[in-house]
Structure 1
Amino acid sequence: MKRTISFLILLLVGSLTSQAQSFGKLVKKTPGMVSYTLRESFSKDVPGTLDKVKAWGITDIEFSSLFGKTAPELRALLDERGLTCSSYGVSYDAIANKPDSILRNAKALGVKYVRIGSIPHKTAATLEMMQQAAEVFNRFGKQAHDQGIMFCYHNHGFEFQPYENGTLFDYLVAKTNPDHVGYEMDVTWTYLPGQDPAALLLKYPKRFRLIHLKDVEKGVAKSDKGSMANEQSVVLGTGQIDWPAVLKAVNKSSIAHLYIEDESKAAEQQVPQSLKYLKSL
């Protein structure tokens, strides 16, 4: 009997140790951050905000705005602090009509990725909308690829309308060149429309290159609108998202950069807590 109990204890300890080792590998380095997280601070004081980000231990930033600076000026401020901008967020109109200007800025910033945040829409997603977007993505993606940059599309929720045996997002992935067009998953804008972020990452392990780590307050209803009240963006691990499942899927994907995105006005207090949570995994 004693031997049986001892054996069971060893099995339990071994299992817990194995789980701890597994979870310990979920976050391999400190994630980056989306500039939108500190949008108000950046709009007032770019150098001071960069110092704040560095003090958190974050060295990688995805900029969705130049905040009144030229691309070379912003690059110089980053270089002075040992920070990098790995992804540059621009508009759909910009990649469709100003590709040369966008790519000049991207080269000046030293980014590896250019992404857009959504496809302009006033209605629910349609097949025609996705067909037009695929043409724009493939054209700009080729231009970016020729300059050593990968174009990525950031899902915003409305793309998950049913279509044939899947969704219009599936259609968009199928109709874009995998060598020239990648994707950036926004975890919340995947989860709220009723999708499983981890399952989608595993479905397209080679297509997602970037990811926004954003949690949503418990009790917030499912929606494909791609918006929520600022205060509903909460500390990672305190909301509805199953982060261990998502991060396990990330590690089986082609995602190169993870960015914390906190839309709350309390982001300066919440980001350090989110970092602490990720490190605890």
Structure 2
Amino acid sequence: MQNSRRTFLKQAGLGLSAAFLSPYLFSCGNSKAGNSPFHNLGVQLFSVRDLISQDPTKTLETIAKIGYKHVETFGVDAANEKFWNLPVDELKKVLDDNNLKTHSGHYDMSKYLSRKHEEKENIEKYIEIAHKLGQEYVIAPVTPMDDLNNLQVEDYQYAAEQLNKAGEMAQKAGIKVGYHNHFWEFRTFANGTKGLDILIAFTDPNLVHFELDLYWTEKAGFSPQSYFEKYPGRFNLWHVKDMDKQFTKPVIGEEFDKSGFMDIMKEIRYTEVGSGAIDFINIANYAEKAGLKYAFVEQDDIYMPNKFESLKKSYDYVQKFLAK
């Protein structure tokens, strides 16, 4: 998917410099004064993965000019302590120079959470890197993805145990461990339980926190509000991501639960926050019940030629309608 996005940019004739040029992208007084997670809005950098891999410094500068206050990292090269070929200490300086914080990061734990893999990722190294960046959360972004259609109750129970262990390690460094969902965690097992419910039930609230992806929750046919009511205080982080109005069909259930991943992805299309089918205004009313601390705009695939224009459109919506 990443290579296809690079190909698109080249075919469109949109050089990297063009993505940064438009001064109208920058928010002039759009930010409201306030301390809520929506006032102090973040962005998951995966949304601009092509741009940040080419020029992380310029990408972060532009994100700051749009008005975002913090960023969520991804794609660490843990062995070399680099993000996008930028050493951790240099990344920290770029963030500081642009008055950007990073409160959380996505760190691959797919083998660590898998009961089928004996070789595990180095969680201690992730915690060390997060500490250097001043991050508060080390987030597992995804379950083991090698056999999604055959994940069992036992797989989620094992993952919960592993998250608890990681949480204990992180706690010693003053850092928290979290988990980010997709759609398959909402598939129902024979006993009526769901993967996400197992993860929540089997993890210690003091050690493991959850980053609810609002898009994937709704795309699975569930309301985020129902999870906030059921598990108050467990969702300290949200991914604020919108759903194309023409692609609202849920992707769990008999029709999809044994389908191939790429077939399911044909039913997926994102859009800028406020442009799609998700009622963020209602969801935002549950921020306190959820325990929300940090909110991030994310769009897995951006279809606008200028990705920063997309990020600004989402940012402006949140400031206008959610930052109260």
* TM-score relative to the length of structure 2: 0.74
Structure 1 residue 202 displacement after superposition = 2.3
CA contact (8 A) 1:156 1:186 kept: yes
Structure 1 residue 103 displacement after superposition = 1.1
Q: 2:287 aligns with which of 250, 256, 273?
A: 250
- Structure 1 partner of 2:203: 176
- Structure 2 partner of 1:269: 309
- Structure 2 partner of 1:85: 102
- Structure 2 partner of 1:223: 251
What CA distance in whole angstroms lies between the structure 2 residues aligned with 1:93 and 1:169?
16
Write out per-residue CA displacement over residues 244-263 of structure 1, whole angstroms, 9 at most, x where no aligned residue.
Answer: 12111123221110000022
Q: Which of the two has higher C-alpha Rg?
A: 1
CA contact (8 A) 2:42 2:294 kept: yes
The worse-fitting range, judged by mean Cα deviation, of 270-279 and 26-35 is 26-35
The worse-fitting range, judged by mean Cα deviation, of 228-237 and 259-268 is 228-237
SS class of match (2:174)? coil
- Structure 2 partner of 1:123: 148
SS class of match (1:207)? coil
- Structure 2 partner of 1:59: 69
What CA distance in whole angstroms lies between the structure 2 residues aligned with 1:57 and 1:83?
10
What CA distance in whole angstroms lies between the structure 2 residues aligned with 1:157 and 1:256?
23
Is 1:69 the equivalent of 2:83?
no
What CA distance in whole angstroms lies between the structure 1 residues aligned with 2:38 and 2:318?
10
Structure 1 residue 48 displacement after superposition = 0.5
CA contact (8 A) 1:27 1:278 kept: no
CA contact (8 A) 2:270 2:299 kept: yes
CA contact (8 A) 2:110 2:142 kept: no
What CA distance in whole angstroms lies between the structure 1 residues aligned with 2:90 and 2:232?
36
What CA distance in whole angstroms lies between the structure 1 residues aligned with 2:68 and 2:48?
13
CA contact (8 A) 1:113 1:150 kept: yes
Write out per-residue CA displacement over residues 201-229 of structure 1, whole angstroms, 9 at most, x where no aligned residue.
Answer: 22212111111000010121211469746
**Residues 240 and 228 from structure 1, CA distance in 2 versus in 1: closer, same or farther, beyond 3 angstroms?**
farther
Is 1:49 the equivalent of 2:59?
yes
The RMSD of aligned alpha carbons is 2.3
CA contact (8 A) 1:89 1:117 kept: yes
The worse-fitting range, judged by mean Cα deviation, of 199-208 and 136-145 is 199-208
Write out per-residue CA displacement over residues 54-96 of structure 1, whole angstroms, 9 at most, x where no aligned residue.
Answer: 1111120000121112222211111122111110111114754
Partner letter of residue 218 of structure 2?
Y
CA contact (8 A) 2:67 2:315 kept: no
Q: 1:144 aligns with which of 158, 161, 170?
A: 170
- Structure 2 partner of 1:162: 188
CA contact (8 A) 2:106 2:139 kept: yes
**Residues 101 and 74 from structure 1, CA distance in 2 versus in 1: closer, same or farther, beyond 3 angstroms?**
same
Q: How many residue pairs get matched? A: 258
CA contact (8 A) 1:26 1:248 kept: no
Write out per-residue CA displacement over residues 165-199 of structure 1, whole angstroms, 9 at most, x where no aligned residue.
Answer: 44221111110111100000011111111111122
**Residues 229 and 114 from structure 1, CA distance in 2 versus in 1: closer, same or farther, beyond 3 angstroms?**
farther
Write out per-residue CA displacement over residues 17-72 of structure 1, whole angstroms, 9 at most, x where no aligned residue.
Answer: xxxxxxx9987514100011111110011111111001111120000121112222
SS class of match (1:101)? helix
What CA distance in whole angstroms lies between the structure 2 residues aligned with 1:27 and 1:168?
27
What CA distance in whole angstroms lies between the structure 2 residues aligned with 1:229 and 1:85?
33
Structure 1 residue 108 displacement after superposition = 0.7
Partner letter of residue 103 of structure 1?
I
* TM-score relative to the length of structure 1: 0.85
CA contact (8 A) 2:236 2:292 kept: yes
CA contact (8 A) 2:183 2:216 kept: yes
Write out per-residue CA displacement over residues 101-141 of structure 1, whole angstroms, 9 at most, x where no aligned residue.
Answer: 11111111110001011111313231121022112111111
What CA distance in whole angstroms lies between the structure 1 residues aligned with 2:313 and 2:138?
28
SS class of match (2:290)? coil
Bigger helix fraction: 1
What CA distance in whole angstroms lies between the structure 1 residues aligned with 2:37 and 2:294?
11
SS class of match (1:162)? coil
CA contact (8 A) 2:106 2:141 kept: yes
